[in-house]
Structure 1
Amino acid sequence: MPFARLAHATTPTCHIGLGLAAVGRPGYINLGRDEDLGENRSVDALRSRTHELLDAAYAQGVRYFDVARSYGRSEEFLADWLNARPDIDDVVVGSKWGYTYTAGWSTDAEQHEVKDHGLATYERQRAETDALLGDRLDLYQIHSVTPDSPALTDKDLHAELAEAAAGGLSIGFSTSGPAQADAIRAALQVTVDGAPLFRTVQSTYNALETSAAPALAEAHDAGLTVIVKEGMANGRLAAPHAPDVLKAIADEAGLGCDAVALALILRQPWAGVVLSGAATVTQLASNLHAAVVDLDVDQLTRLATLVEEPRAYWERRGQLPWH
């Protein structure tokens, strides 16, 4: 399994990955994008920004890079970077299918992405991903599985995913929404010829939304690699938006709110890879300080007061504007 490379990495940041959702397209729901990206969000500008982030991440020990078909040109940007560096052979590349990007490189499109977990979408997007990433792709995930997703019951889809797995590709899934735990447990039951189909799960977990933790622990115990996304809650845990409790603990640590927020996730025994969604090199450097944050019992107790009811958390997330 390609994630074994991470287990044997020697850098302290090997279990922090870089997700390109925020820089692969001009519009996203993260807070503070005007300050992060400015007005120039042309394809060339975001390509250059992505390559700078990838250079900085790799130089500091990051070895997992996360993209998706719906993240604008993220696969293309990552492929360009990899093709220019053929000697780099120790990174793990994950992408996702199931959403189609529809914004046309605009920040104010009526609809930014369309979800479809059908077999035809998988076949189309698998071909699109292969054309860009080819054999550099290690992991292909179903994007944002929910308990009612047809991807959990479509036997024809499972057969094609199993065929891809037999060819050396790791198959995984990501989750979103207040019923993440139910989706994870349902996916753990999916088998092909008696063998589990999925090797990884990518879920939202952060100081505000912890409801998936028991199911993620079960997935880890079942042998899946757990990838954590949205550790910064789409910017709600980053200064200046962070809650006062988090700001106080960050002051005590002498580091940023982001480092503390990500450190909380890194200490979970089931967390295999924790994604940084940094949009700038400065943000990335601050995120990577999470590897050296040591939270004590009192700080953990105070952070636990931030947890929100899952439906309230996801309702607020759903109200964040694309900008």
Structure 2
Amino acid sequence: MWFRLPAAWAEGRGRSTAFRTPGIRAVPARRPGVLDGIVDIVDRLAGASRIGLGLAAVGRPGYINLGRATDLPADRTVEAMRARAHELLDRAYAAGIRYVDVARSYGRAEEFLAQWLHARPDAHDVVVGSKWGYTYTAGWRMDADVHEVKDHGVATFERQLGETRALLGDRVDLYQVHSVTVDSPALRDAELHRRLADLAARGTVIGLSTSGPSQAETIRAALDVRVDGRPLFRSVQATWNLLEPSAGPALAEAHEAGCLVIVKEALANGRLAVGAHAPGDAAALAAALRQPWATMVLSGAATVDQLASNLRAERVSGDPARPEDVAVPSVRYWEERSRLPWG
């Protein structure tokens, strides 16, 4: 299992950009400073799976992934979804996964993860990434008119950071602005940048996730954001998959600039996993893992069988599936995604 080191500072660490170690290390004391936060994450993930577990699909009863009617319990109570999340976390940890992705808008995902971490003191080596900027508004209903509301203002950051800390304490290693687009104030708000830089100075890596047909433009704009002459965003989480690979060149630039690069929605919300012309989950995830700039690729599994199948991606051999065989125009991809029903 290989973990890819950001290229811009690999030589300074005396390592190649892809390396392997015998196993997971104990969590070191968090060191202050932006780069030290990234170093801690990389050190702790060395030897772990390059597949991370995202809890978007199991932190709330409704989401837009295909197949949820058969994947999840018919009665999606808080207790049932908590049990499913903990089952997935147990299996993921046993399989060597050490990165877990949550967000304030993923219903109770942060809460479920916090409870699991409390019950599993042996899981001290798990790296936690969370996101702020969307507020969950569905009230644990699948038929809500609005499931989440976006706001990238300072007040929302301060409120949601407090909520995240109340649940996860100091276990959050990476805190990302959720779903940034080119028009987001997160790219321009100097006061927000200062608050984020203050958090980074205390050892939390600051990143952003992107969405929409202009991801590449958003990523490049984020790479230019500086506070006191230093880059602010040290991690990028973006949609890249065989249907929508347009962010690839910008993600390569982010990797070269020293950012962690996390791939989300590698299965296009299930569209690449099921169907007569879909390559299948392992092949689609393997295509993402083979990108030279990808640090981590997220699994959004909702069942332990899906997780086991997703993990096969690390063992796929032969000619990989290629974006040029199935890619669609970016605008079309995001329009089709916007029409996926919550269920």
Q: Would you call these one fold, judging by a TM-score over 0.5?
A: yes
Identify the residue that residue 339 of structure 2 maps to in structure 1.
319
Q: How far is the alpha carbon of 1:221 from its aligned partner?
A: 0.1
Identify the residue that residue 136 of structure 1 maps to in structure 2.
171
| 1:238 maps to which of 248, 273, 283 | 273
Q: CA RMSD in A?
A: 1.1
Q: Give the Cα–Cα distance (whole angstroms) in 2 for the partners of residues 67 and 165 of structure 1.
A: 19
- For normalisation by structure 1, the TM-score amounts to 0.92
Identify the residue that residue 127 of structure 2 maps to in structure 1.
92
Question: 3-state DSSP class of the match of 1:217?
Answer: helix
The residue identity in structure 1 corresponding to 2:271 is: R
The residue identity in structure 2 corresponding to 1:27 is: G
- For normalisation by structure 2, the TM-score amounts to 0.87
1:274 paired to 2:328 = no
| 2:188 maps to which of 153, 167, 179 | 153
Q: How far is the alpha carbon of 1:6 from its aligned partner?
A: 5.1
Identify the residue that residue 311 of structure 2 maps to in structure 1.
288
1:264–1:295 Cα contact (<8 Å) kept: no
Identify the residue that residue 249 of structure 1 maps to in structure 2.
none
Q: How far is the alpha carbon of 1:4 from its aligned partner?
A: 1.1
Q: How far is the alpha carbon of 1:86 from its aligned partner?
A: 1.8
1:306 paired to 2:326 = yes
Q: Give the Cα–Cα distance (whole angstroms) in 1 for the partners of residues 327 and 122 of structure 2.
A: 44
| 2:233 maps to which of 198, 202, 226 | 198
Identify the residue that residue 43 of structure 2 maps to in structure 1.
5
Q: Give the direction of change, closer, same or farther, for the CA distance of 1:165–1:261 in structure 2 (3 Å limit).
A: same
Q: Give the Cα–Cα distance (whole angstroms) in 2 for the partners of residues 274 and 162 of structure 1.
A: 26
Q: Give the Cα–Cα distance (whole angstroms) in 2 for the partners of residues 127 and 24 of structure 1.
A: 19
Q: How far is the alpha carbon of 1:300 from its aligned partner?
A: 3.9
Q: How far is the alpha carbon of 1:87 from its aligned partner?
A: 2.7
1:119 paired to 2:119 = no
Question: 3-state DSSP class of the match of 2:122?
Answer: coil
Q: How far is the alpha carbon of 1:304 from its aligned partner?
A: 2.2
Q: Give the Cα–Cα distance (whole angstroms) in 2 for the partners of residues 168 and 26 of structure 1.
A: 33
Identify the residue that residue 264 of structure 1 maps to in structure 2.
287
Percent identity between the aligned chains? 66
Q: How far is the alpha carbon of 1:7 from its aligned partner?
A: 5.0
Q: Give the Cα–Cα distance (whole angstroms) in 2 for the partners of residues 63 and 231 of structure 1.
A: 18
The residue identity in structure 1 corresponding to 2:222 is: A
Identify the residue that residue 77 of structure 1 maps to in structure 2.
112
Q: Give the Cα–Cα distance (whole angstroms) in 2 for the partners of residues 242 and 134 of structure 1.
A: 45
Q: Give the direction of change, closer, same or farther, for the CA distance of 1:38–1:6 in structure 2 (3 Å limit).
A: same
Q: How far is the alpha carbon of 1:163 from its aligned partner?
A: 0.4
Q: Give the Cα–Cα distance (whole angstroms) in 2 for the partners of residues 105 and 119 of structure 1.
A: 26
Identify the residue that residue 30 of structure 2 maps to in structure 1.
none
Q: Give the direction of change, closer, same or farther, for the CA distance of 1:203–1:130 in structure 2 (3 Å limit).
A: same
Length, aligned pairs only: 305
Q: How far is the alpha carbon of 1:3 from its aligned partner?
A: 2.3
Question: Alpha-carbon deviations, 1:3-59, whole Å to 9, x = none?
Answer: 2135522x4xx1100000000000000010001013120000000000000000000
Q: Give the Cα–Cα distance (whole angstroms) in 2 for the partners of residues 185 and 304 of structure 1.
A: 23
The residue identity in structure 1 corresponding to 2:335 is: E
Q: Give the Cα–Cα distance (whole angstroms) in 1 for the partners of residues 42 and 74 of structure 2.
A: 40
Q: How far is the alpha carbon of 1:269 from its aligned partner?
A: 0.5
The residue identity in structure 2 corresponding to 1:292 is: R
Q: How far is the alpha carbon of 1:90 from its aligned partner?
A: 1.1
Question: Alpha-carbon deviations, 1:144-202, whole Å to 9, x = none?
Answer: 00011001000100001000001111100000000000000000000000000011000
Question: 3-state DSSP class of the match of 2:332?
Answer: helix
1:209–1:308 Cα contact (<8 Å) kept: yes
1:236–1:242 Cα contact (<8 Å) kept: no
Question: 3-state DSSP class of the match of 1:3?
Answer: helix
The residue identity in structure 2 corresponding to 1:4 is: V
Return 5+ residue gaps in structure 1 as ranges.
Answer: 247-256
